[in-house]
């Protein structure tokens, strides 16, 4: 573990923890969908000397028992078996989601255990009070289900991190700003009121994973503890931040989280091969700043991002945001310098693609989330900031207007 040369300037009393080791980066580089991405991200962070301002913590590898806190024994055992044999044609693999987008390549189990262990390590640093912010840019694989790989995700490290944080923190807020719906995390906690999931994502016919409509709000005791914000192609920084801030303001007041897990997939950034959103790191950085000002224990994860240079730009810029640092526009000379041509600057310019998010439709979605669509007289009496949850009323309770105001002013949330 390396001590930082100087304190972080992010308003936090402790420097952020940065999960890193050469072995971990090498392991993450092996993922076929994003080859060498982990090295590119770390090298750019290092080139800006940001690592010197953070506490570097070497990640542990997740044990079978730790992974089994979410994933089934049968799935883990099968993943381990095909990983050892490099068998991508095992007849049982289809049942476990292994194949087209999640090939069962040799060593994939070790990779999954490394990523899961890194996120658990970051969560434990928060539990131990070592920091207020812990970063694992190679984590954030949010599609994996308990018994199934999905969408390049073999292990749901975000779920494992949340489960570890629950050992100390009663209510966890998971915020997912990836291009794709955080379906695996939402599914994992869809029946509980102790973890609230918020996902801003592209929602369009035929677009993976095909879930996350605004009307999807959770199940059973977890009903109204899932918030989904469907977005169309072409959205840019200003509108995206308006949506994010509007939703998170309501969620924070109502749910009163004790810790946050934030997934910051970079496939929303202009130039990504997904060709969907038209964001820059500045817009995502504003969302990050909004969450950091809550001063809660915060676990930062990566996720998607398939333009490797732009992903490194994005996560390096966001690391600077966490540290309160303004970074030079010019990319410093380092191992992957030539990947940033032809301009060799940190900034990313939006493309000319049209924004399909019409203002009236955005407002309809926000009104739905705030409950303003609800026809009852109570909704008409209550200010939007007190009207919870998404589709009207506090879950499971019939409360008088005065009692709801008292509870909200007292910052009490009924689970």
The residue from 51, 143, 201, 374 that is catalytic is 143
Tokens coding 230: 């469907």
* Alpha carbons 339 and 335: distance in angstroms, whole number: 9
By three-state DSSP, how is residue 301 classified?
Answer: strand
Place of tokens 């910051």: 264
Phi first, then psi: what are they for 340, rounded to 5°? -100, 10
143 is catalytic: yes
Q: How many CB atoms within 10 Å of residue 338?
A: 8
Q: Which of 97, 133, 94 lies closest to 12 in space, CA to CA?
A: 133
Q: How far is CA 315 from CA 61, 259, 381, in A?
A: 23, 21, 43
**In a 3-state reduction of DSSP, which class is residue 68?**
coil
200 is written with which tokens? 């801003």
Question: Which residues are bridge partners to 136 per DSSP?
Answer: 301
User: How many residues belong to the chain?
Assistant: 415
Rounded CA gap, 102 and 108, in Å?
10
Work out the angle between the directed axes of helices 281-292 and 308-323 (0-180°, nearest 10).
30
Quick count: other Cβ atoms within 10 Å of Cβ 87?
A: 15
Q: What gap in Å lies between CA 38 and CA 29, rounded to an integer?
A: 6
d(CA 52, CA 8): 10
Closest to 18 in 3D by CA, of 73, 69, 56: 56
3 state SS of 250: helix
Sign, CA dihedral 342-343-345-347, equals: negative
Which residue in this structure is represented by tokens 């730009």?
313
DSSP 10: S
Q: Which residues are catalytic?
A: 143
């Amino acid at each position: 573990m390396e001590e930082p040369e100087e304190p972080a300037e992010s308003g936090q009393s402790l420097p952020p923890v940065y999960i890193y080791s050469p072995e971990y980066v090498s392991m993450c580089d092996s993922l076929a969908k994003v080859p060498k991405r982990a090295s590119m991200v770390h090298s750019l962070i290092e080139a800006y000397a940001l690592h010197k301002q953070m506490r570097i913590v070497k990640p542990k590898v997740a044990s079978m028992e730790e992974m089994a806190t979410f994933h089934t024994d049968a799935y883990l055992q099968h993943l381990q078996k095909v990983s050892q044999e490099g068998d991508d044609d095992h007849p049982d693999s289809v049942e476990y989601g292994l194949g087209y987008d999640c090939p069962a390549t040799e060593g994939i189990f070790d990779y999954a255990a490394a990523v899961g262990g890194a996120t658990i390590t970051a969560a434990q640093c928060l539990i131990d009070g070592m920091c207020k912010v812990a970063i694992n840019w190679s984590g954030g694989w949010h599609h994996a289900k308990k018994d199934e790989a999905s969408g390049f995700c073999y292990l749901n490290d975000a779920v494992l991190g949340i489960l570890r944080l629950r050992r100390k923190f009663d209510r966890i807020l998971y915020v997912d700003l990836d291009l794709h719906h955080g379906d695996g995390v939402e599914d994992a906690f869809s029946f509980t009121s102790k973890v609230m999931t918020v996902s801003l994502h592209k929602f369009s016919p035929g677009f993976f994973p095909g879930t996350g409509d605004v009307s999807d709000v959770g199940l059973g005791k977890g009903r109204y503890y899932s918030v989904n914000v469907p977005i169309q192609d072409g959205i840019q920084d200003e509108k995206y931040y308006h949506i994010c801030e509007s939703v998170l303001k309501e969620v924070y007041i109502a749910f009163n989280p004790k810790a946050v897990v934030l997934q910051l997939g970079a496939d929303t950034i202009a130039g990504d091969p997904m060709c969907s959103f038209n964001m820059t790191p500045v817009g995502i950085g504003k969302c990050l700043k909004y969450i950091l000002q809550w001063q809660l224990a915060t676990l930062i994860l990566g996720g998607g991002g398939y333009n490797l240079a732009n992903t490194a730009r994005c996560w390096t810029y966001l690391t600077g945001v966490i540290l309160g640092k303004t970074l030079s526009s010019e990319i410093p000379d380092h191992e992957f310098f030539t990947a940033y041509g032809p301009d060799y600057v940190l900034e990313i310019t939006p493309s000319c693609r049209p924004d399909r998010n019409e203002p009236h439709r955005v407002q309809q979605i926000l009104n739905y989330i705030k409950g303003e669509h609800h026809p009852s007289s109570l909704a008409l009496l209550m200010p939007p900031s007190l009207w919870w949850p998404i589709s009207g009323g506090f879950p499971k309770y019939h409360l008088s207007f005065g009692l709801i105001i008292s509870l909200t002013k007292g910052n009490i949330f009924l689970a």
